[in-house]
Structure 1
Amino acid sequence: MLKLTVLYGHPKDAKAFENYYSENHLPQAATMEGVAKMELTKFMGTPDGQKADYYRMAELYFTSPEQMQETMSSPEGQATTDDLSNFATGGVNVIVGIVDND
């Protein structure tokens, strides 16, 4: 299984981020066909009480590299990717990895 991870930096306005994320971005992401599973995380901080390096994380799972490519290059995938600039004021890092289920 392949995983695309989106790491969101701390936004300039957390309330505006959350409103847009839940009302616009997530419904748009839900239109992407081929995502086997999606997990969303809002970070609370580090174990010692410090501010986390990132604000949020979205993990999208795909059954194969080909499925990920097909999904992300679809009109829905492109629209979802293009939408990031509308609300992710703290920056975004996107990484891809193979899930090791050993």
Structure 2
Amino acid sequence: MAKLIVIYEKPKDVEGFEKHYFGVHMPLAKKFPKLTGASALRVVSAQNTDREPYLVVEAEFESADDLRAALASAEGQAVTEDVANLIPYLHRPPVILITE
């Protein structure tokens, strides 16, 4: 299994972020080819960090090859391009992790 994990810090505009993220960005991400699961979890507590994590998102794939292919697909490009629309709501870009 491979995962794309994205960690967002608390937005400077929570309402705007939530509206765009769950109304536009997440629906785009759910169109990734070969996506086997997706979740968005709000952080209620964090330890050992000076940052304020707000949302942790996971997109799951059967393999790293499937994840790479999804990111390279037209659907993946649409998600990547839409990140620019989230940036105005954030203090800084999200942390993006790829695991396998």
TM-score (norm 2): 0.84
Alignment root-mean-square deviation, CA: 1.9
Distance in 1 separating the partners of 2:31 and 2:62: 17
Structure 2 counterpart SS, 1:8? strand
Give aligned-pair identity as a percent.
Answer: 27
Unpaired runs of 5+ in structure 2?
none
Indicate conservation of the 8 Å contact 2:46/2:53, yes or no: no
The one of 77, 94, 97 aligned to 1:95: 97
CA shift, 1:80, in A, is 0.4
Runs ≥4 residues deviating over 4 A: none
Structure 2 counterpart SS, 1:72? helix
CA shift, 1:79, in A, is 1.0
Distance in 1 separating the partners of 2:29 and 2:46: 28
Matches within 5 A, 1:46-61: 46=46, 53-61=52-60
Q: Which protein has the larger Cα radius of gyration, Structure 1 or Structure 2?
A: 1
Unpaired runs of 5+ in structure 1?
none
